Structure formats: structure tokens, C-alpha cells
Amino acid sequence: MNNIIKKIFSVGLVLMISGSLISCGGVSKREVKKTANGKVEVEYWYGLGGKLDENMQKIIADFNKSQDKYEVKGVAQEDYKTTFKNLQAGIAAKKSPALALLEGDKVYMLANKGLLTNINDYTSKDTDFKEENYLESFLETGKKDGKLYAFPIYGTTQLLYYNKQAFKDAGITEESLKTWTGVAEAAKKLTKKDGTEVSYYGWEPMWGEDNLIDAALSNGGKILSDDGKQVLINSEEWVESWDSFRKWIHEDKIMRIHSGGQGWEYWYATVDDAMKDKAAGYTGSSGDQGDLDFNKLGAYEQPAFKEGKQAKPIAEARLLAIPSGVSDEEKQGAYEFIKYFTSVKVSAEWAIDSGYISVNKGSASTPEFIDYVKKNPQAAVPATQATHATKVFIDPTDGKIIDALKNAADKVEIENVPAKEALDEAQKIAQEALNSVNK
């Protein structure tokens, strides 16, 4: 009899605990944080540096002054990947922020584990909220199973930035930038050498898998088959485009990459080369525009890989997510900040200051933005490119396919491994991961 009672008690205890976890979205909620002046503290993690960090801090300060209930505390991380890694650790230790800036695929991974708040719970009660006011393609990135687990606050895509005087002096026009093979031909003319050493590079792609994925997609490649069962990253289109970059970097030496370092160090080293006359151009984010001198540089859409192909670089959103384990007051404060940031006026200001794409359709119609684009035509290039771009790839294997591509990109760009060898190995690893998901 005692054993029976113990079993009943154990089952009841498990059910009680399970019910408690379910009611809190999979994790237990913590007590509300308050500042010294009685405001609800909303800790916010984001992986931005340089001018972007300054712009974000300004918006945070403006929000804090705009109302007297919430105090957003911005905590800059090294980069997006570090933000995600630290957020995972914070959630596990029940010390997560109330708000985090994430990439789309990371949102999917966390939502899949029930670790994010459904923001629809707040938009549905907000009489001012209208979904049609926001760019649908970016809004969809934060959704899973019809629920909004993260809200897009800006869009980004990678562009070509080139030295206008260097191109003019070499007799090269923007027409050369319509294909990657054309960019390579221009880079050959622009590259300068002191003996065998290169003193000035014709072009600098940005380190990592992103530029190479864009090139493969713009050569007609696909990541997965239409039925989602086959990984296609070692197709002819992928091998041709990736091996071309390997050749341009390691054999022709008309291009180079900066790699490694802390956080965004490699990124700013690349930008500096273009700004300090060490390279004729580079491939970078629309968000670089706040750091660039457009008296010196021009901006151009990322091209098709070669004649007969279509330019299909990825355009994606960066999103704000609210971990499910924080207090209800922090969640409400986090939502109020999201609402503030994505308002017509603030979103337009962010787009002007950063170069990123506003997610609010109304921002492009503000007098300030219209006037800015007239004087700074490069500001319109990201949004124009986004109209024919590829949507961000949501990795169904919780990042294993992208990890395989990242490793392959390092082999091609840094180690001079032939693209077919690197991509064949990556495809095998990625296919095994996909098969385990599709069982």
C-alpha cells in the first residue's frame, strides 16, 4: 500500500511541475527587475558595434525618455553569433535578458524548443497594431506555425561598395559590376603589385559563408531540393561560383579576405581597406552605410554570377525576441520598445543613420527619408535589391547545414581547398543531418 501511495504522489508531483512549466512557456518565470527609480528594467542584448552601436544607444535613450514605466538597458555583445550563444547560456541559467536581437534561423531554433514568447499575445491586444503596415517577407521570418516569435526591426542585404575615382581612373564603369565574373575582370585591372607582393587589391569579399552562398544562389544554385529532402550544395552551380572565388583569392591574387579576430574585427578591417585606399572595393552590409564616405565610394546591387543568370542574394531581417522565462512586466516593456523602434518615424531615422532597410512601409514616405534619398541615392540600393532577393534560409537541422557551409567556406577562402572537395564533404555532413530530421 505504501508503494502505491508513493507512486500516486510521484505522478501527482510530476503533473504539478509539468503544468507549472507549461503555464510559463516551458521555463519558470523570474521576479520583475526594477531600477533605482522604480522603472521596470528591460535588459536588451544586441551584437552591434561602431556607429551602429551608437545609433542603437541613442534610440534606447530616446525610448527611456519617452515614457516613465520602463528602462531599457542595452548590453552590446561582440556580434550576432555571440548574442545567440550567450542567450542560450542565459536561458539555461535563468538569467536571460528580456530582449535579444537575433538572426532569423536562430529564432526558429529557439521557438522550436518553446523558449520564446509569442508576440501575437501583445499585438492582438494592441489596437494600434496593423500587420499590413510591415513588410510581409521580413515579418514572416519571425513566424513559426502561425505564431510570431520575433519581430523584425530592420532588414539587411549585402551590396557592392566601390572606389569611384579608382574605377574612373582605370576606365571601368558600373556596367562591369553586373556580374561577378565582370567584377573579377575589373579587379584584375585594378590590382597593383610591388614586385610579387600585392599593394592594392581589386576587390575584397567579406569573410564567411554569406558572400559565397549569395554567389551560388546568383548562379542558379539551391540549398535544398524543392521537396526539402536533398541537400544540393555541391551542385555544379555551387562548385563553379565557390571555386572561382578560391582562384581569385589564392591563384590570381586579385582579391583577398580578412578573417578571424574578435567580433566584427575582420569586418572593419575590410571596410578600412576600401576607405584607406588599400582596395578598390568590397562586399559589405547595407548597414555599413553609416560608416562610409560616399564622396569616395559608390554603392551597387550585388550581381548575378555570370551572364544569363539572375542576381539572387539573400535579404533578411534582424529580429527582436523575448525569452519566455522573463516576468510579464519585462515582456510588456520589451514589446513597448519593439513598438517604438518599428514606428514610422524611428524606423525611418534608423534607416537613414544605418543604411538598413526599414520594416515599416510608412518610413519610406516620410519627408525626412525622401529628402535623404534624393541627396544620398546609395540609401535606396538596399531596398531595391531586396525586391528581387532570396529569402533567408531557415535551417531545418538547427544550424548543421549552415555550419557545414561555414566550414567549407573557410577551407575554400583560407586554406585554398578546391571547392568541389570542400562542398562534397559539406554536403555529406549536411545530408546526414537532414536525413535525421526527416525520419
pLDDT at res. 430: 98
| Contacting residues for 284 by C-beta, under 8 A, at least 6 apart | 158, 159, 161, 206, 267, 270, 271
Q: Is the pLDDT of residue 1 over 60?
A: no
Cell numbers linked to 348 = 525611418
pLDDT at res. 419: 98
Q: Is the pLDDT of residue 25 over 90?
A: no
Q: Do residues 306 and 327 share a domain?
A: no
**Cell 514605466 maps to which residue?**
69
Find the mean pLDDT for residues 418-435.
98
Q: Do residues 113 and 199 share a domain?
A: no
pLDDT at res. 20: 39
pLDDT at res. 389: 93
pLDDT at res. 10: 43
For residue range 104-126, list pLDDT tens digits in order.
999 999 999 999 999 999 999 99
**Cell 552590446 maps to which residue?**
76
Give, in degrees to the nearest 5, the angle at Cα 435 between 434 and 437. Answer: 65
pLDDT at res. 196: 85
pLDDT at res. 27: 43
pLDDT at res. 18: 39
Q: Do residues 284 and 149 share a domain?
A: no
> Smallest Cα–Cα separation from 146: which of 111, 99, 101?
111
Count of the separate structural domains present in the chain: 2
Q: Do residues 55 and 125 share a domain?
A: yes
Q: Residue 347 in contact with residue 363, Cβ under 8 Å? A: yes
Q: Residue 207 in contact with residue 270, Cβ under 8 Å? A: yes
Q: Do residues 205 and 223 share a domain?
A: yes
Q: Is the pLDDT of residue 17 over 60?
A: no
Residue 5 lies in a domain: no
Percent of the chain with pLDDT over 70: 93
* Domain region containing 398: 157-314+391-437
For residue range 315-330, list pLDDT tens digits in order.
999 999 999 999 999 9
Residue 12 lies in a domain: no
The CATH number of residue 183's host domain is 3.40.190.10
Domain end position, chosen among 386, 412, 427 = 386
